[in-house]
Each structure stands twice: as C-alpha cells, then as structure tokens.
Amino acid sequence: MKKHISLLFAIVMFIGVSVNAQSDKSKRASPPATVTQTLKSGAVVTIDYSQPSLKGRTIGKDIVPFGKVWRTGANEATIFETSKDLKIGGKMLPAGKYSLYTIPGEKEWTIIFNKTWNQSGMAYKEEQDVLRFTDKPEKSEKMMEKMTFEIEKDGEVQLLWGDLEVDFKVK
C-alpha cells in the first residue's frame, strides 16, 4: 500500500512540474516579448509576441517562407492592441485587439490585422481579416538575431530581424 501511495505521489509531482514548466513561457526557445508605446495622439499601442531566432537560417528560405501567411512571431499569434482608432496604410483600424500576420516577400510584405486575436499562431482564417496593406522591406542598420518589434512615439512600427526591417506608420 505504501508503495502505491509513493508511486501515486511521484506521478502527481511529475505532472505538476511538467505543467508548471510548460506555463513558464520565458523558458521557450522563442521567448515572449511585449512593446508598448503611447503615441503623440494619445493612443496606447501594444504588441505582444514571441521572438524566434535566426540560428543561422535565412528568412524566405530556411525560415518564414516567402509568399505564405506567417504568424509574425512564434508560438501563439502575435497580438496588436490599440486603445484608440488608428489609421494604418491609409485605412482605419478600430480600437481593440487583433492578431498580426504577414505574408513576407522579397520585394513586398503584406501586413494583416485579423479580428481573432486569441488564437494559436497556425489558426489563421482570411475571412477574419480586418485590414491588409503592403509595405516594402528594407535593409536594417541593426542586425537582430531575435525578431523584435519597436514602436516610436510618432507611430512608426518596426519589425526588425536579421538585417531586415519592415516598418509602417500608425496614426
């Protein structure tokens, strides 16, 4: 009887440690990151995402294939939140939370705001898109091993990864 209780205790402890380790997102290969900025307009913009690393891979070939919808990060879908209505790419985005996807390309990236924000990164459905626009990638002055978002007070949002920079303005 004691052996059964000891075995049961060991199993329960193992399960508890496993569940706790999985819920600690900072231990993931692509750790979580958040960037928040209050714009000159007073809008508060937050991007909550996971940071994949290049690890010697090439964007468009080994990682993040060109021409395919990408969750713009790792793990769960990247969340873009704004406290006020914004104008992005010449189009209006109402205040709220959105998942942020992209379709990377060598000469052009499509930026996508999807109304289903709380989802797995792979659960994208085009019919849920709220806003789409295109932007041209540029060569960055900074070399970033981990994908990083930056938001400036003037509303410039930058996605930096490797020697790539994709930026767009939010107003």
Residue 1 pLDDT exceeds 70: no
21 band by pLDDT with thresholds 50, 70 and 90: very low
Residues 100-124 pLDDT 10s: 999 999 999 999 999 999 887 778 9
The pTM for the full model equals: 0.83
What is the model's pLDDT at position 139?
95
Task: Strands of 3-137 (E only): list them.
Answer: 32-38, 44-50, 59-60, 63-65, 78-82, 86-88, 91-93, 96-103, 109-114, 129-135
What is the model's pLDDT at position 25?
65
Residues 112-167 pLDDT 10s: 999 999 887 778 999 999 999 999 999 999 899 999 999 999 999 999 999 999 99
The mean predicted confidence, pLDDT, of the chain is 88
Residue 111 CB burial class (10 angstroms; 0-12, 13-18, ≥19): buried
User: How crowded is residue 113: how many other Cβ atoms within 10 Å of its Cβ?
Assistant: 25
Residue 6 pLDDT exceeds 90: no
Query: DSSP letter at 122?
Result: T
What is the model's pLDDT at position 30?
78
Let me know: does 168 contact 155? Beta carbons within 8 Å. Answer: no
Give the domain ranges of the chain: 29-169
Q: Name the least confident of 19-23, 84-88, 121-125, 126-130.
A: 19-23
Distance CA 160, CA 113 (A): 18
Query: DSSP letter at 17?
Result: H
Residues 32-64 pLDDT 10s: 999 999 999 999 999 999 999 999 999 999 999
